[in-house]
Structures are given as structure tokens and as C-alpha cells.
Chains A and B, each alone.
Chain A
Amino acid sequence: MSQTQIRFSGSGGQGLILSARILAAALAARGKFVAQSQAYEPTSRGGLSRSDLVVSDREVDYPLVTSLDCVVILDQVAVAASEGLLRPDTVTITDAARVSAPPGEPRRVLALPITGKARGIGNIRVANIVALGALAELAGIIDPDSLRETMLDLVPPRFRDLNAEAFDAGREMAATLENA
């Protein structure tokens, strides 16, 4: 049985749970079974926040992650929580500015200027969507165009253009990296 495990993590308020919800919705709409769990600290900003997806072609047995295929880390505070779940081939995407000490052991860590790009677009709060775009391009779990469609359905209409720009910027950033 093929199963994929994905984590979005960072600090509270970065919108990581929304990123996970968008990806989960897109996967469910395409016939996958998804189990999404989350953990956060009792503060509205700051503290470790993460949301995990277990994706399968059938009903998921164990709904929590045990070994990650992909992980997005947008803040240093979230690094330790994933250390024990990483494999050498885990696609590990970190924010270049906010993760100064990425997970150890020899593995390919893709440090991308995610929050920097979001700030450049005009709103640091879309960093979660920049990250989603980058993940879509790098992880090979879903067609990025169809994920983009679901994303635009789920964000408030007045923020559609901003989020579209953020998603495309994330994809482009990742594509450049892949070609390098």
C-alpha cells in the first residue's frame, strides 16, 4: 500500500494548518484518503505549530505520521519536533531566513527564501502559500495546477490574486532550484 506522509510546521500564526487543509482538500477531491492531524500551543502567535497529513489510496490505518516523505519548516522552533521523523530521502523545505540551524544528519535541505518572497509580494502572511507552491513543485504528490485551483476556492475571494501570486512564486522558486 502506498502511503505518503507530509508535515507543515513553523510557529503559531504562520498559517500552516491552512496550508495542510488546502492540500488535504485537493487530495480528497482527487480520490485520495487523507488523515490530517495538528498540534499547536495555547497561544495565538508563536510556539510550535504543525499539521500532518497521511495520504493513502484507501482508508488510512494509523492516522499519525511516523516517517515523513516531505516536511516544510518555516521557523526554527519547529526543527526539533521533526528530527526523529526524517529519512535521508525526506524532501525537507526550510525557510532560509527563519531556520538558522536546519535538521542535522547528512540530508538535502532545501533552504528557500519563503518569508522573504512573501514580504516582497506585499504580505508576509502568504508565506504559507508560497511554501505550498514550493512543496507542490518539489514533492510530486499532486499536480500543482489542480492544487492551485483548490487553493483559490478555499481562500477568501478578496485575497485570491495575492494568494495566486504567492503560490506561483513558490513554484517558480522551487523550479529554479530543481534546474540548478
Chain B
Amino acid sequence: MSNPTNIQGNAAAAAGAIAAGCRFYAGYPITPSSEIAEQMAARLPKAGGTFIQMEDELGSMAATVGASLGGVKAMTATSGPGFSLKQENLGYAAMTETPCVIVNVMRGGPSTGLPTRPAQADIMQARWGTHGDHPIIVLAPHTVREIYEETIRAFNLAEALRTPVVVLYDETIGHLVETVTLKEPEEIITRKWAEGPREDYLPYAAGADMIPAFPRPGDGYRTHTTGLTHDERGFPTQDPEKVAAFMERLLGKLETHRDLIEKNELVETDGADVLIVAIGTPARAAKSAIRELRDEGIRAGLFRPVTLWPFPEEALKAAAKGKRAVLVPEMNAGQMILEVERVLAGEAPVTGLNVFNGEPITPAQIAAAVKELAK
């Protein structure tokens, strides 16, 4: 455990990755995520790992997946334009069930947009950026301390569930320096390696936990890795029964392990009239606004998904029960609100507060919106 020290959000992502056992980083620096590459370049070799700057984001995502197939915990980091380029190989990681962590520090978009300004407009891209029905976990830390902790958790979830995990936060938090005490991880999870007779090994066969054992390179287990839909042997199949069984397991594995994945923070939600649902910088603005409003006799609470995807349906429903109104402040034109509306359909009126001018949402903006709803 370190003494309290001032570190930047992006540096905390690098520190968390190394603490979690990440030993390979492939990247292509892009504002506002570049400090992660910078930190990994300096620190990974000292931790016995490998850093490589690839020719572009396609290559860096490919190298990250390749390193993980080689048995090493691997990560890459980027921002919007680079995140777009990483989507194809991110889908390959989901399909081949290759553990990996992708940090996306959100800036204003679309396209190259606003490189140094904060946004949250990649919320849907993080879930649906790659094509096809696919499993993915997205974690949304809101402080520098939480970036460190959630990056560790990202590796644990990636390894435990053999899935890509995205760590998603906005530029404001990525470039923020905060006083943090970095604690050693309480738990470090490494993927389940293949054991037992080699001749019986099926690389994509899974038990009740739905997670196939990973063939450790050099252990002699025969495997086959393909982005084509595959059977338990890892070879392509179009047999409808096998395809359906594979897809049901692929998509069902996260649902089966929801308890491990889901994490939310609730602030003063009991007895609140208005529920705010927010992540990242708007969630911090909400916490500040809630205190100010309480002094004025207005009761508001915050529901903050720390795990953004899979979306915390039941927990949100429970938190919204009996509320007069729900406010969803986000630094985009309205993305998370679509999920909130879907989950709370008919139970509570849902209103958005959308800022997409490159400026962070402030406590005053949230307080004003809550007051309007509390009338």
C-alpha cells in the first residue's frame, strides 16, 4: 500500500494494470489516453513485461489479442477514433473468448472531434461497437482511485470470464490528478488453464460455469482459434444446433456470472424524490449537487452504475421505486437514458440533461434540473 500520493487518472490505469498482472501492452498513442501508453512504456519493462507501439490501432488491438492467446495478461488504451479502429479485433476477442482489457478515454466526437475535451458519447459504442451479438463488459470509474481499482477488476473479470473488458471514462477524469492511496489488489484472478488428459481436451467445451479452460501455450493441448462460429473443438460449424448452443453459451456466460460482474454505487437514494442516474464526471457533479440540494430541503439521490454493461436492470428498478422523477445527466446527446427509459418504462418519468459542447456537466446544471423536476 502506498502513502497518499497525487497521481493522474491515466497513470492510475497503468498502475492498476501492472498491479493486476498485465505484462503486455500494445498501443498507438492518442489524446486524451496517451499517458497510459507513456506510463506502460516506462513501467512494463521494469515489471518484466513487454511494451510495443504498433503501426496503428488495428495492429495494437490485434497484438493485444495475440499476446493474450499466448497466455499473457494484455491491455491496450485509446480514445474515440482509435476505439473505432479497434472494434474488429475486439469482436475477434469476444468470439474467441480471449481475455483482454481496452481502456477508452472519451473525448468529444464524432470523428476526430474535440481531442482534449471531455465527452461520454461512446457509451453505446462500447456496448455495440463491434458487429454481431457479442458479450462485453464495460466498467465506468469516476475517480482516479476508482480507475486504479476498476482496471484491476477489469483484468480479473476478463480472465475469469474469458471476455474483453472495456474501462470507460471521460477526459476530465483521465487527466485529473487526485490524492490516492493505491492498495495492493485483494484478489488477482488468472484464467482457468486446461488440465487433464490432452487427448480428451476440447478447447471450447464448458461445464456449468460456461467458461472453457484455456490451453496454456507449451502444455501440449491441441487447439484451434477462429473468428468463424465454432464447435467445441474450435473448428468452424454451420450446424444450427451447434451454432445455437455456442451462441447461447457465449451470450449466457455473462448473465450466469452477473453477481461477479455487477457493481453499483447508491448515494442517498432512500427517501429521495428525484433519482439521478449518472457515470463519470456527471456522477461527481451529481454528488455535489445532492449535498447542495439537501441544504435547500430538496431530496435527490444518485444511482451510479460502476459496471455500465451489462446494464444493471434489477438494481436500477429497485433504486427507482417510488421516485417522482429520474434525471439522466450525460455528456452526449442521450445514450444511457435509452437504457434507463427501457428499464423503468412506465415506472417513473425519465428526463435527460445533455451537454455536448465539450464542457463538463456542473453541479449547478444538475441542481437546476433537479429543482425543475421536484416542483
Contact B6 A21 (CB under 8 A): yes
Question: A106 an interface residue at 8 Å Cβ cutoff?
Answer: no
Task: Using CB atoms, name the residue of chain A closest to B5.
Answer: A28
Q: Number of A interface residues, CB 8 Å?
A: 24
Q: Number of B interface residues, CB 8 Å?
A: 23
Give bound CA distance, A61 to B362, whole Å. Answer: 11
Contact A37 B6 (CB under 8 A): no
Contact B176 A36 (CB under 8 A): yes
Residue from A28, A32, A42, A61 within 8 A of B284 (CB atoms)? A61
- What is the CB-to-nearest-CB distance from A43 to chain B, in angstroms, rounded to a whole number? 13
The number of A-B residue pairs with CB atoms under 8 Å apart is 64
Contacts of A37 on B, CB cut-off 8 Å? 172, 175-177
Contacts of B6 on A, CB cut-off 8 Å? 21, 24-25, 28, 34, 36
- What is the CB-to-nearest-CB distance from B337 to chain A, in angstroms, rounded to a whole number? 21
Residue from A24, A31, A59, A66 within 8 A of B177 (CB atoms)? A24
Contact A28 B143 (CB under 8 A): no
Contacts of A38 on B, CB cut-off 8 Å? 175
Give bound CA distance, A39 to B360, whole Å. Answer: 13
- What is the CB-to-nearest-CB distance from B262 to chain A, in angstroms, rounded to a whole number? 23
- Segment 289-316 of B: residues with Cβ below 8 Å from A: 291
Q: Given that A59-B145, A62-B284, A62-B285 are known contacts, is A33 also in contact with B179, CB under 8 Å in the complex?
A: yes
- Segment 141-196 of B: residues with Cβ below 8 Å from A: 143, 145, 172-173, 175-179
Contacts of B116 on A, CB cut-off 8 Å? 39, 42
Task: Using CB atoms, name the residue of chain A closest to B287.
Answer: A61
Contact A36 B291 (CB under 8 A): no
Contacts of B47 on A, CB cut-off 8 Å? none
Contact A63 B175 (CB under 8 A): no
Give bound CA distance, A59 to B88, whole Å. Answer: 39
Contact A66 B362 (CB under 8 A): yes
Task: Using CB atoms, name the residue of chain B closest to A56.
Answer: B179
- Segment 98-150 of B: residues with Cβ below 8 Å from A: 116, 143, 145
- Segment 193-222 of B: residues with Cβ below 8 Å from A: none
Question: A81 an interface residue at 8 Å Cβ cutoff?
Answer: no
Question: B240 an interface residue at 8 Å Cβ cutoff?
Answer: no
Contacts A21-B6, A63-B172 supplied; 12 other A-B pairs, CB < 8 Å: A28-B4, A28-B179, A31-B4, A33-B179, A34-B179, A35-B177, A35-B179, A37-B172, A37-B175, A62-B362, A62-B363, A63-B143
Nearest 8 pairs between A and B by C-beta? A62-B288, A36-B177, A61-B287, A61-B288, A28-B179, A33-B179, A34-B179, A35-B178
